[in-house]
Structure 1
Amino acid sequence: MRIVSNYNTLIIIISTLLIFISCAEDKVSSPTLSSSASEISNNAHPSLIITSAGVEKIKANLGSIPIFDASLEAVKNEVDTEIASGIEVPIPKDFSGGYTHTRHKKNFLILQKAGILYQILDDQKYAKYVRDMLFQYEAMYKTLPIHPQTRSYARGKLFWQCLNDSNWLVYVSQAYDCIYNYLTAEERETLEKNLFRPFADFISIENPQFYNRIHNHSTWGNAAVGMIGLVMNDEELIERALYGIKHDGLDPNAKDNDGGFIKSKDGKAGFIANLEEPFSPDGYYTEGPYYQRYAMYPFLIFAEGLQNVKPELKIFQHKDSVLLKSVDALLNLSDADGEFFPLNDGQKGMSYFSRELVTAVDIAYHYGGHHPGLLSIAEKQNNVLLDDSGLSVALGLKNGEAKPFNKKSINLSDGSDGKQGGVGILRYGNEDMTLVFKYAAQGLSHGHYDKLSFSLYEKGDEILQDYGLVRFVNIEQKGGGNYLQANSSWAKQTIAHNTLIQNETSHFEGKYEIGSKHFSELYLFDVANEAIQVVSAKENNAYPGTQMQRTLVMIKDENFEKPYVLDLMQVTSNTTNQYDLPYYFMGQVIKTNVDYKTHQTLKKLGGANGYEHLYVEGIGNASEENTKLSWLNHGNFYSLTSATNKADQILFTRIGANDPEFNLRRDAGFMIRRKNSKNTVFASTIESHGSYSPVSEFALNSNSNIADLEVVFSSEEYMGISITDLNGSTRLFIMSNKDASKEKNHTIKINNIMHQWTGAYYFK
């Protein structure tokens, strides 16, 4: 019997009781759940993300929680519009960004929202909409073949890859949970037998190369199988989600379309293994912030479901609460505008305003001790989840409990044990200047070959950029919205980054199999004094026989308007090499002291390893001991000053060669090339100074304040740099290259003057 709105109250109550009794009879046989968890799972749908108790608390507060009320109204308007336009479940045929792909993606997002609205508003039109669409999927799925597009290593059915099929099931499981008691026992049985169980089996047992590995793809698959298992009270699916599957026929040499088949180091798979291996103890996710953002949704939404239905697992306490730490780490991996640093395959512009981060912030706040700093992020997001965790955030904001989330200088270790490199972030003031130093592990198949690279920001503006990925996500016209060939030939190559290249060859020869075995080693991270912050790391494996040590110092000197950066790259090699050190700057060239030549016809810089994608716009030799470049960007002036010699070649480059379909941005680069060298030091400063207003047309402080930069000492043990400003004041920075101990005493003579200090570095 279907309950409709015009029945009297008594019939509604009796019918509801009958449905609950039916649910209990159907599911009472599970012996493995604890009694409290069984009670939740068997008798109290919804229980996955929004709970029955949460629904009652939400209803009691509606109309008095502004951010929640506004979020609810926005979702209601969106879903009502979709309901009015009717249900459409097309036969799949398109890549990302194509019509059928976009339609099915929109469907799963709307289904989840409609289920939530049914619970909060008690309006059965939302439950009916979810039920009717699910049965359209059930009718189609029974005979649905593999997706016709063949590019993926693991093709889906609704989508071109199993990854997106898993997205669908993660969201739809939430919708199913919300209307579980609205459906009859017969309807539930039909959906589970013909749609949900086959769907879960397909993305797991039938696609072990997708499901049984360590990667964000598999996390989505694990969460999908586990969440529908929680709703269905299917212990086999839950176990499969948590611990993976055994599949003797799995090809150990299988490759995915991202660059490598990533297996667990110890042979384990599943959600727990994906919690263990990619996350460092600091919460850094080895694929980088863009993919950490993407993976946070399945990690946290499944964890929330496990916490609600199987609290005995204590999932939020696993690995010293690494999931909760990861939210804090990810927020620290953003610039002043909330945009994530585009390390590895990262799309610029992705930020903590994404739906995944709304989920992450709300869940971390709800289950992580109600940290008030998260409320300030939620306030900026101006959106909350329509569930228990979103209500917690809304109530915290209503009660005025928000405090600023202060992003400070931080070092985030990489690797499951925190000993595989990392990312060091130096910040001055209120993100007035932010430096991002990458000395991390390879980053799985999304990793780039750019050890000891860095990028630099002023507030939310790039000064020196990391390129990010070559992909137009979900734009069908650009390769079906997928990775383009230039992602491998350009973005992943070392030359695409602000780091050292030896003999025009990428680090580790640009080979994943080599790069994944090595990582850089942190030498020093010292941010105790905001006026001089230092991060230094060594790389011994990028080029056999060559050691690189890069030291980056953020300095606030009273003689300088703003903080400036000292960049030191010391190279020691067994052989004579050519070294290239590029800086990819953002903006318009203002001035340089290089005597360069341009050519009427642009020529590419090289033939491989990313060099084939660089045009040479100008070329010359360093004519002075200091080479300078100044540029203007977003109303600020910037200057790069480098200690050079007359044999150094200077190249002005432009990205875009060998790119007939215009897939690459035409960004500028400035490169120092040093030939026939074994051991050498590259020393540079990067300043932000002055301003320009196109309205007043005044240029203020448009010149560099560096009068001279000199490498005054270089040995295996020490490196000394003098910095003289326009006022004639000289500062000396000395780095101990062998001992970074805070207690170590050092004595060194430079230019007949003895210098003594304690600790890793000297600055006076």
Structure 2
Amino acid sequence: MNYLYKFFLILLVFVSCTKKNESIQKENDVTQHPNLILTSKSVLEIKSQLGTIPVFDQTLNKTKEEVDAAIKKGIDVPIPKDMAGGYTHTQHKKNYATMQKAGVLFQLLGDEKYAIYIRDMLLEYAKMFPTLPRHPQKRSYARGKIFWQCLNDSNWLVFTSQAYDCIYSWLPKEQTEYLNKTLFKPFADFLSVETPQYFNRVHNHSTWGNVAVGMIGLVMDDEELVNRALYGLENDNIDPKAKDNDGGFIKDKAGKAGFLANLDSPFSPDGFYTEGPYYQRYAMYPFLIFAEALQNKKPELKIFEYKNGVLIKAVDALLNLTDADGEFFPLNDGQKGMSYYTSSLVSAVDIAYYYGTKKPELLSIAKKQNKVQLDATGLSVAIGLREHKEKSFIKKSMELTDGSRGDEGGVGILRYQKEEETLALVMKYTGQGLSHGHYDKLSFSLYENGNEVIQDYGLSRFVNVEQKNGGGYLKENKTFAKQTIAHNTVIQNETSHFKNNYAIASKNHSEKYLFDVSNPDFQIVSAKEKNAYPGTELHRTMIMVNDDKLSKPFIIDITKVTADKKNNYDLPYYYFGQIISMNFKYQTPKTLSTLGDKSGYQHLWKEGAGMANAENVQFTWLDNKRFYTITTATNKEDEIVFARIGANDPEFNLRKDPTIIIRKKQIKNTIYASIIESHGSYSAVKEVAKNAYSNFSKIEKIIDDVNYSSFKIKFKDGREKILILSNTDSNPKKEHSLNINHKKYNWVGAYYYK
């Protein structure tokens, strides 16, 4: 009996010790560095594959060349003084990018020269940071220390924290304690408690700030910093008089700010980011890199499942918000030319592939990018490409809702693709888009084969070009690019939507009326705007029609205006290229004058004008060796205005792009009805114009009342089509009956076309 008792006692002690050892081992696994983006496990996996994963090996070799060159050049940590694009700004950007890459190289290649480079650089920053006041350039609502704005300081900390994680276990304990106390904890406090107007709001800037604090908190195992990053500042850390960049008071309650709040509020359930694709692209890196770190360090949070997996959805949404060349549609503030080839989208695609469902379509994007993130996600993508698992990413027609619950309008994208020929129409009926939003409800842009046909101006800024306002936004961004006249939508009484008032605009959004792409030959998007002008409702319907007698689909553009009094209305179309012909008389002035004196009109030269004097106007232009024509129904009193951007622009900050404006004066209710078509081509080599004339003779309004609007479309080949729109009932199962010119039309749904 005693022997049996002793046996069970020894067994109990053994099991207890085993469990304790397992607990200690588990704790060591968590605290062992690296454990954010790279982990001890992933480093071993990557090392075992090196030399067999072409795109990863190629990225690694290129990274090594870049970092080796930087190390050879030496460490340079200048005293901050410049705006974006200046020497000190650029050097500090190079420093954090190089440190992050050096950390990866140290882990994957094992060469201590990379760790030494990071250590020496960090010690220089630790020496300098405590001596720095806020940046001398007083241009930002939240000045940084190393950079002119806290946003860039956050960039520095997000990247540098990854480098620090890679050498943390290599550094002597006294050095990590010194860096934590002298550099990193003060840096995190500076970005958060010392700058609450920056940190504690919902905005892409704040996302970077939250992630910067959270990343360094994870490195230092500082739970207080991690919680601050996730949930924002507590009430007692906030100055009640502090205001944000838009003049409103900052968020003052936990749960209304922080990383999770920035996931909740700006993203719709579809993954659309309310600020627009350009800033979604910018914000995706901190969102996803922090999510990856949290997944590695705090898997219990299940961050990639948050809000029904919105982060993975956001990558898919963003890829679909691009033209045929992969360039993002410039909705709201957006610099043209930015595309999914940018490094932030390399990370986004890799992370979405690894933590999502490993969609083979993402591999085709990664193949075009031809580089990967140097971690487990990039390894997974590289293996997928090595095994030829990629499938084409086909961009389809889709609607992306806006608003945290998906109930604040959205973006409708109509697409056509036949082999290499593509057409894409983008109609915007979103919320305001925070401080980067433009005042352009129901605007649209049109693309053919990646080229803009009818353009959205985008932003007025030369990012990181020091000579242009230090790389920051130009004043013309507010005076023109944000104004409604800069977009292809209706303007009333030469005044921008919501009178260009952010506080009012941010409380309103357009309402989706209809989105139906079930028939690829007749795709339709329709939305209403009731708040841009009190007493006026705008209802725009855009249709992409694929006619079997034409080589390309054409666009039908209908805007119904219902008002409580008479107004003047303008509808501009911003085109590119050379005017070819028009079917109305016009006059050109000997001396240019502006189209107006406010709301962006002061930036438009009036180059010509004429009265429609007909029921239809046609305007044809040539661009990218293709002909385009707008055919529009008019009243004889309508005026057609030729204008060009560039007036009152002494520093030549604006592009000199042309527009044609259809102007209706002193009318209460009206309707714009146009056809936009691509037709024919021109060969400069053969000097031959093919199909240079429009395929349409006219579009004619037949009926326009509260319930229905109907139109007759006449082709030059003699064919006719009738289009009827239900203006008040979009129910797809609703039965309609209407008499037009003694003929009865019966149909089901919100529209009829035959």
Query: Shorter-normalised TM-score: what interval?
Result: over 0.9
Distance (Å, rounded) in 1 between the aligned partners of 2:566 and 2:486: 23
Equivalence map 1:391-540=2 (5 Å): 391-429=379-417, 432-540=422-530
User: Which of 663, 674, 680 matches 1:673?
Assistant: 663
Distance (Å, rounded) in 2 between the aligned partners of 1:414 and 1:151: 31
Residue 686 in 1 paired to residue 676 in 2?
yes
Q: TM-score, normalised by structure 2?
A: 0.95
Distance (Å, rounded) in 1 between the aligned partners of 2:310 and 2:24: 26
Distance (Å, rounded) in 1 between the aligned partners of 2:506 and 2:578: 37
Q: Identify which range, 247-256 or 375-384, moves more after superposition.
A: 247-256
Residue 99 in 1 paired to residue 90 in 2?
no
How far does residue 559 in structure 1 lie from its aligned partner after superposition? Answer: 2.2
Distance (Å, rounded) in 1 between the aligned partners of 2:699 and 2:150: 55
Equivalence for 1:365: 353
Distance (Å, rounded) in 2 between the aligned partners of 1:710 and 1:261: 51
Which residue identity lines up with residue 515 of structure 2 in the other structure? F
Contact preservation (8 Å) 1:438, 1:453: yes
Which residue identity lines up with residue 725 of structure 2 in the other structure? M
How far does residue 246 in structure 1 lie from its aligned partner after superposition? Answer: 1.8
Distance (Å, rounded) in 2 between the aligned partners of 1:390 and 1:105: 23
User: Which of 155, 162, 165 matches 2:153?
Assistant: 165
Does the C-alpha gap of structure 1 residues 148 and 250 become closer, same or farther in structure 2, counting only changes over 3 Å? same
Does the C-alpha gap of structure 1 residues 254 and 446 become closer, same or farther in structure 2, counting only changes over 3 Å? farther
Equivalence for 1:23: none
Per-residue displacement from partner, 1:28-70 (whole Å, max 9, x unpaired)? Answer: xxxxxx9699636644211100111111111111111110011
SS of the aligned residue for 2:586 comes to: strand
How far does residue 285 in structure 1 lie from its aligned partner after superposition? Answer: 0.3
How far does residue 247 in structure 1 lie from its aligned partner after superposition? Answer: 4.2
SS of the aligned residue for 2:131 comes to: coil
User: Which of 591, 596, 611 matches 1:606?
Assistant: 596
Equivalence for 2:567: 577
Per-residue displacement from partner, 1:72-93 (whole Å, max 9, x unpaired)? Answer: 1111111111001000000000
Which residue identity lines up with residue 717 of structure 2 in the other structure? N
User: Which of 551, 574, 580 matches 1:590?
Assistant: 580
Distance (Å, rounded) in 2 between the aligned partners of 1:500 and 1:50: 51
Equivalence for 2:11: none
Equivalence for 1:17: none
Equivalence for 2:167: 179
Equivalence for 1:12: none
How far does residue 265 in structure 1 lie from its aligned partner after superposition? Answer: 9.8
User: Which of 599, 603, 616 matches 2:606?
Assistant: 616
Equivalence for 1:79: 67
How far does residue 459 in structure 1 lie from its aligned partner after superposition? Answer: 1.4
Contact preservation (8 Å) 2:232, 2:255: no
SS of the aligned residue for 1:384 comes to: coil
Which residue identity lines up with residue 81 of structure 2 in the other structure? K
CA RMSD of aligned residues (A): 1.5
Distance (Å, rounded) in 2 between the aligned partners of 1:555 and 1:690: 17
Does the C-alpha gap of structure 1 residues 355 and 614 become closer, same or farther in structure 2, counting only changes over 3 Å? same
How far does residue 752 in structure 1 lie from its aligned partner after superposition? Answer: 1.3
How far does residue 429 in structure 1 lie from its aligned partner after superposition? Answer: 1.6
Contact preservation (8 Å) 2:255, 2:261: no
How far does residue 259 in structure 1 lie from its aligned partner after superposition? Answer: 6.9
Distance (Å, rounded) in 2 between the aligned partners of 1:649 and 1:666: 22
Which residue identity lines up with residue 458 of structure 1 in the other structure? E
How far does residue 561 in structure 1 lie from its aligned partner after superposition? Answer: 1.9
User: Which of 230, 233, 236 matches 1:245?
Assistant: 233
Which residue identity lines up with residue 272 of structure 1 in the other structure? L
Distance (Å, rounded) in 2 between the aligned partners of 1:508 and 1:289: 23
Mark the runs of 5 or more structure 1 residues left unpaired by the alignment.
1-33
Per-residue displacement from partner, 1:503-554 (whole Å, max 9, x unpaired)? Answer: 0111001000000010000000000011000000000000001011000000
Residue 321 in 1 paired to residue 309 in 2?
yes
Equivalence for 1:759: 749
How far does residue 575 in structure 1 lie from its aligned partner after superposition? Answer: 0.6
SS of the aligned residue for 2:697 comes to: strand
Equivalence for 2:618: 628
Equivalence map 1:14-25=2 (5 Å): none
Residue 714 in 1 paired to residue 704 in 2?
yes
Equivalence for 2:143: 155
Which residue identity lines up with residue 344 of structure 1 in the other structure? N
Mark the runs of 5 or more structure 2 residues left unpaired by the alignment.
1-21
Does the C-alpha gap of structure 1 residues 392 and 259 become closer, same or farther in structure 2, counting only changes over 3 Å? farther
Distance (Å, rounded) in 2 between the aligned partners of 1:260 and 1:695: 59
Distance (Å, rounded) in 2 between the aligned partners of 1:660 and 1:259: 29
Distance (Å, rounded) in 1 between the aligned partners of 2:408 and 2:580: 40
Per-residue displacement from partner, 1:126-169 (whole Å, max 9, x unpaired)? Answer: 11101110101011112111110111111100000100000000
Does the C-alpha gap of structure 1 residues 252 and 43 become closer, same or farther in structure 2, counting only changes over 3 Å? closer
Which residue identity lines up with residue 658 of structure 1 in the other structure? N
Distance (Å, rounded) in 1 between the aligned partners of 2:373 and 2:92: 22
Residue 233 in 1 paired to residue 224 in 2?
no
Q: Identify which range, 256-265 or 448-457, moves more after superposition.
A: 256-265
User: Which of 344, 352, 374 matches 1:386?
Assistant: 374
How far does residue 696 in structure 1 lie from its aligned partner after superposition? Answer: 1.7
Contact preservation (8 Å) 1:112, 1:171: yes
Which residue identity lines up with residue 479 of structure 2 in the other structure? S
Distance (Å, rounded) in 1 between the aligned partners of 2:25 and 2:461: 44
Contact preservation (8 Å) 1:712, 1:721: yes
Distance (Å, rounded) in 2 between the aligned partners of 1:320 and 1:530: 30
Per-residue displacement from partner, 1:276-333 (whole Å, max 9, x unpaired)? Answer: 0000000000000000000000000000000000000000000000000000000000
Equivalence for 2:185: 197
Equivalence for 1:7: none
Distance (Å, rounded) in 2 between the aligned partners of 1:266 and 1:221: 16
Equivalence for 2:541: 551
SS of the aligned residue for 2:698 comes to: strand
Distance (Å, rounded) in 2 between the aligned partners of 1:691 and 1:368: 43
Distance (Å, rounded) in 2 between the aligned partners of 1:657 and 1:469: 17
Distance (Å, rounded) in 2 between the aligned partners of 1:500 and 1:506: 9
Distance (Å, rounded) in 1 between the aligned partners of 2:26 and 2:70: 36
SS of the aligned residue for 1:721 comes to: strand
SS of the aligned residue for 1:63 comes to: coil
Distance (Å, rounded) in 2 between the aligned partners of 1:244 and 1:452: 35
Residue 218 in 1 paired to residue 206 in 2?
yes
Does the C-alpha gap of structure 1 residues 260 and 623 become closer, same or farther in structure 2, counting only changes over 3 Å? farther
Contact preservation (8 Å) 2:193, 2:237: no
Distance (Å, rounded) in 2 between the aligned partners of 1:402 and 1:290: 26
SS of the aligned residue for 2:152 comes to: helix
